[in-house]
């Protein structure tokens, strides 16, 4: 074999060995073991839901409340069936009746009340076959989309949408403060219902509307107690005197 050809052959062998070595080092730990494949990135699901998805997720947690002549809304807030609502819905009522999303009816008693925040919790005497507590938490941001679910004017399980219009608001007569202002449509019967963010989290409990005409008609401005304040404990002050639903 000519000398030039021999040199070419040796060089080719060296190239093959280098390539094999690179493969071996890249696929093992140097001991001939196969390296574990790198995990492939998993897309993070979007936290934003459509209004329909928010309603489907949360409506099983919403209840219709009838307390004497008062009609309102509540939301299941815990696995034991504890319900959050607006205090003025159940204030002074001797008989409180709940209707769950599946049609189950039950009596309820006031477990705690915070009149200064216009918030009450109810203990039901009976639970639906499947208890679906809502997910509580999350902060409000001005301009962020919100969804309200309630029973305005007796139209049960109505849904409306809007945005957070302002924060730390006080009702016209100064009865309630630190409220979330929003423009999703609510009316009498909506009180106590959940105000939800785009991820379906309960960020507030609906308690009042601005009522410049003094006719309890929605004027585009509504208020909710932030969920953190709603869960803040009992109070012993007088109920708020702002326009309530």
The CATH number of the domain holding residue 146 is: 2.40.10.120
182 domain residue, yes or no: yes
Catalytic site residue 191? yes
The distance of Cα 19 from the centroid of its chain, to the nearest Å, equals: 56
What is the reported pLDDT for 171?
86
- Same structural domain, 2 and 66: no
Catalytic site residue 158? no
pLDDT at 4 over 50: no
Paired with 97 in beta bridges are 66, 107
Q: Average pLDDT over the chain, rounded to whole?
A: 81
What is the reported pLDDT for 245?
62
What Å distances lie between residue 82 and 56, 67, 72, 122, CA to CA? 20, 17, 16, 6
What Å distances lie between residue 92 and 14, 82, 96, 113, 117, CA to CA? 93, 19, 10, 11, 16
Catalytic site residue 183? no
Yes or no: say if 117 and 230 are a contact pair by the CB < 8 Å rule.
yes
243 domain residue, yes or no: no
- Banded pLDDT at 9 (limits 50, 70, 90): very low
Which tens digit of pLDDT belongs to each residue from 94-142?
A: 999 999 999 999 999 999 999 999 999 999 999 999 999 999 998 899 9
- Same structural domain, 13 and 89: no
What is the reported pLDDT for 102?
96
Query: Catalytic residue among 88, 158, 165, 190, which?
Result: 88
Quote the number of domains for the chain. 2
- Same structural domain, 2 and 82: no
- Same structural domain, 15 and 86: no
Least trusted range by pLDDT, from 26-30, 46-50, 206-210, 234-238: 234-238
- Same structural domain, 137 and 26: no
39 domain residue, yes or no: no
**Higher pLDDT pick, 130 / 34:** 130
130 domain residue, yes or no: yes
238 domain residue, yes or no: no
186 domain residue, yes or no: yes
- Same structural domain, 22 and 124: no
**Higher pLDDT pick, 15 / 68:** 68
What is the reported pLDDT for 93?
95
Which tens digit of pLDDT belongs to each residue from 75-88?
A: 999 999 999 999 99
Yes or no: say if 90 and 110 are a contact pair by the CB < 8 Å rule.
yes
44 domain residue, yes or no: no
- Same structural domain, 74 and 6: no
- Same structural domain, 22 and 70: no
Pair type for strands 194-196 and 179-182: unpaired
- Domain extent, residue 26, equals 1-30
* Two tokens, residue 139: 């902060």
- Same structural domain, 62 and 130: yes
- Same structural domain, 21 and 59: no
Pair type for strands 105-114 and 145-150: unpaired
Which tens digit of pLDDT belongs to each residue from 160-212?
A: 999 999 999 998 765 899 999 999 999 999 999 999 999 999 999 999 988 76
pLDDT at 8 over 70: no
Sign of CA dihedral 193, 197, 202, 206: negative
What is the reported pLDDT for 131?
97
- Same structural domain, 101 and 212: yes
Query: Catalytic residue among 118, 183, 197, 211, which?
Result: 118
Tell me the whole-structure pTM to 2 decimals. Answer: 0.76
Yes or no: say if 199 and 47 are a contact pair by the CB < 8 Å rule.
yes
- Same structural domain, 5 and 105: no
77 domain residue, yes or no: yes
Query: Catalytic residue among 165, 191, 197, 211, which?
Result: 191
- Banded pLDDT at 66 (limits 50, 70, 90): very high
């Amino acid at each position: 074999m000519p000398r030039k050809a021999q040199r070419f052959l040796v060089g080719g062998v060296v190239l093959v060995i280098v390539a094999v070595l690179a493969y071996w080092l890249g696929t093992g730990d140097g001991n001939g073991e196969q390296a574990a494949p790198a995990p492939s990135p998993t897309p993070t699901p979007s936290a934003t839901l459509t209004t329909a998805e928010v309603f489907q997720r949360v409506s099983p947690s919403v209840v219709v409340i009838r307390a004497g002549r008062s009609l309102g809304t509540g939301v299941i807030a815990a696995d034991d069936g504890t319900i959050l609502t607006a205090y003025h819905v159940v204030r002074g009522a001797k008989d409180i009746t709940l209707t769950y999303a599946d049609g189950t009816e039950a009596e309820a008693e006031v477990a705690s009340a915070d009149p200064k925040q216009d918030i009450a919790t109810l203990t039901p005497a009976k639970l639906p076959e499947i208890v679906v507590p809502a997910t509580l938490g999350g902060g409000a941001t001005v301009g962020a989309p919100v969804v309200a679910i309630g029973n305005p004017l007796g139209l049960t399980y109505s849904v409306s949408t809007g945005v957070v219009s302002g924060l730390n608001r006080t009702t016209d007569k100064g009865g309630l403060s630190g409220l979330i202002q929003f423009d999703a449509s609510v009316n009498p019967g909506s009180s106590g219902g959940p105000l939800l963010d785009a991820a379906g989290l309960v960020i507030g409990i609906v308690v009042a509307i601005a009522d410049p005409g003094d006719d309890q008609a929605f004027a585009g401005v509504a208020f909710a107690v932030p969920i953190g304040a709603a869960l803040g404990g009992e109070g012993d002050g007088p109920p708020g005197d702002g326009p309530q639903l």
